[in-house]
């Protein structure tokens, strides 16, 4: 179960990033105006896939990952260990913020809100995701693609 969910979590990262870029690009032209239903669709998909990713992340965090399950047994020690702290605090906290940003940004009420809000919040969500992803060149790096 652990390798399956980890692989899904790794793959969904690419969907989340692509949908995030699509969401920002789609609302850009309606910065000063209401967001049409069509322009709001990528943002809806972005939030939905992010929610699934959040669920997979929580499952790893609480039950499946030997790293976080062990790290939570000794939080004081974990906070002093950069590697453990990354997986137990930094990665989840920034990603949860990203999920919140994406939901705040979603234009509601059949295109009532101007697109500027969505551009800002989707942009912030995307930035947080890019910063909190364990890219291969980072100390806690993981593969670009997991099979
Ligand atoms: C929502 C956006 C998120 C993205 C884009 C994301 C992305 C990733 C990526 C790319 C990995 C590395 C996978 C690999 O080893 O190939 C990873 C690992 C992990 N993520 Fe996330 N993540 C997100 C949210 C979360 C959340 C909210 C949590 C916890 C509540 C979480 C917990 C974890 C854990 C525990 C691991 C490592 C598990 C292990 O190696 O044992 N993630 N994440």
Per-residue pLDDT at 104 exceeds 90: yes
Per-residue pLDDT at 49 exceeds 90: yes
30-55 burial code (b ≥16 CB/10 A, e <16): beeeebbeebbebbebbbebbeebbe
Question: Distance from the CA of 106 to the center of ligand 1, in angstroms?
Answer: 23
pTM greater than 0.85: yes
Show the ligand 1 pocket: residues with CB < 6 angstroms.
6, 9-10, 13, 16, 50, 53-54, 57-58, 60-61, 65, 67-68, 87, 91-92, 95-96, 98-99, 129, 133-134, 142-143, 146
Q: State how far the Cα of 24 lies from the Cα of 36, in Å rounded to an integer.
A: 14
Provide the pLDDT confidence category of residue 96 given band limits of 50, 70 and 90. Answer: very high
Q: What pLDDT, in 10s, does the model give residues 9-36?
A: 999 999 999 999 999 999 999 888 888 8
Question: Distance from the CA of 134 to the center of ligand 1, in angstroms?
Answer: 8
Per-residue pLDDT at 115 exceeds 90: no
């Amino acid at each position: 179960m652990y390798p399956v969910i980890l692989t899904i979590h790794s793959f969904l990262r690419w969907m989340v990033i692509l949908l995030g870029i699509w969401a920002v690009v789609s609302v850009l032209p309606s910065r000063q105006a209401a967001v049409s239903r069509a322009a709001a669709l990528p943002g809806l998909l972005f939030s939905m896939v992010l929610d699934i990713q959040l669920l997979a992340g929580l499952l790893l965090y609480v039950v499946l990952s030997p790293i976080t399950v062990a790290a939570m047994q000794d939080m004081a020690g974990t906070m002093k260990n950069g590697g453990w702290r990354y997986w137990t605090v930094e990665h989840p906290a920034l990603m949860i913020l990203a999920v919140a940003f994406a939901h705040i940004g979603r234009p509601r009420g059949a295109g009532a809100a101007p697109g500027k809000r969505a551009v800002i919040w989707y942009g912030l969500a995307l930035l947080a995701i890019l910063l909190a992803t364990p890219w291969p060149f980072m100390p806690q790096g993981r593969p670009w693609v997991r099979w």
